[in-house]
Amino acid sequence: MFSRNPDEFLRCFVTVDETWIHHNTPETKEQSKQWVSRGERGPKKAKQSLSANKVMATVFWDARGVIHIDYLEKGKTITGEYYSKLLDRFDVDLTQKRPHLAKKKVLFHQDNARVHTCLVTMAKIHELRYELLPHPAYSPELALCDYYLFPNLKKWLDGKRFESNKEVITETNAYFESLKKTYYLEGIKKLEKRWTKCIELKGNLSLMELFGMPKFGFNWFKSYKRFIYIHTRTHASTHAQAHTRRRTCTHAQTHTKHTRARAHTNTRTYTHTQGPQNVKI
């Protein structure tokens, strides 16, 4: 579809995803670097962590910019019913901000999160007459928000501290409003290269092939490293358990053999000492 009519595709394409925004996001090592004189030690810094207070932002956007943002406070969960009502609110903003789509079919893109694929959500998308674009399972490298929109947002938020959800919402809205329209267009155009690469490799994207593509979001890379770490630990643990079971089984078999040998020896001794004797008649 994109190759046939790229302009029409970009006019009708809309994507959505969710992310947590914390009240306090520590600076990265790159951002916290300081100049020091030769021979002088750098200042000691206390280790900081993400704050417990946070807000979940659900962002709907296209090649022209953000269409609708929903904020959900901590302690609440996005369910199929909630997401269905959210789609209704988004559709109202879509009609107002993108009137050219009134007689066009919206090309709607989302990942395969459970709330996005449940029956309630599918029924609502069908009711709104959106054309749902396919998304391969476990493919964050093909999710626009994961590799483009949200990593840049998180980088901008690093080192900032907010006292309330209202401040978080105000600053986040200001960030998206400050971006140029070309920023959103460039992000969506990058998706074509990723789709093409995925098709060429038939979905078998190795780590080196992935890094041959445009840069990923840092959060995805950390998740991948975490997966490798857990997988390695699990494999080592399973190997150790199997080795222990083999040793235990071998020890038990050896013990059983010794027990049987002793029993056999005792039986022969008993038969020899207590067997039939010569009796006088």
More confident residue, 237 or 215: 237
User: Does residue 233 share a domain with residue 208?
Assistant: no
Q: Is the dihedral of CA 128, 134, 140, 145 positive or negative?
A: negative
More confident residue, 201 or 163: 163
Out of 139-148, 149-158, 238-247, the most confident range is 149-158
Query: Mind listing the pLDDT tens digit for each residue in 91-109?
Result: 999 999 999 998 889 999 9
Domain that residue 150 falls in: 6-25+50-216
User: Does residue 242 share a domain with residue 210?
Assistant: no
User: Does residue 239 share a domain with residue 151?
Assistant: no
User: Does residue 147 share a domain with residue 208?
Assistant: yes
Tell me, what CATH number does 105's domain have?
A: 3.30.420.10
Helices (H) and strands (E) in the chain, counts: 10, 5
Quote the pLDDT of residue 7: 85
User: Does residue 95 share a domain with residue 233?
Assistant: no
Name beta bridge partners: 140. none
At residue 147 the predicted structure's pLDDT band, cuts being 50, 70 and 90, is confident
The domain tally of the chain equals: 2
User: Does residue 125 share a domain with residue 74?
Assistant: yes
User: Does residue 87 share a domain with residue 130?
Assistant: yes
User: Does residue 224 share a domain with residue 210?
Assistant: no
More confident residue, 169 or 190: 169
Task: Label residue 119 left, alpha or beta by phi (over 0 means left) and psi (-120 to 50 means alpha).
Answer: alpha
Query: Mind listing the pLDDT tens digit for each residue in 61-89?
Result: 999 999 999 999 988 889 999 999 999 99
Calculate the dihedral angle through the C-alpha atoms of 128, 134, 136, 137, rounding to the nearest 10 degrees.
30
User: Does residue 239 share a domain with residue 162?
Assistant: no
d(CA 142, CA 136): 8
Residue 51 and residue 165 in contact, taking contact as beta carbons nearer than 8 Å: no
User: Does residue 129 share a domain with residue 232?
Assistant: no
Q: Is residue 163 part of a domain?
A: yes
Quote the pLDDT of residue 280: 44
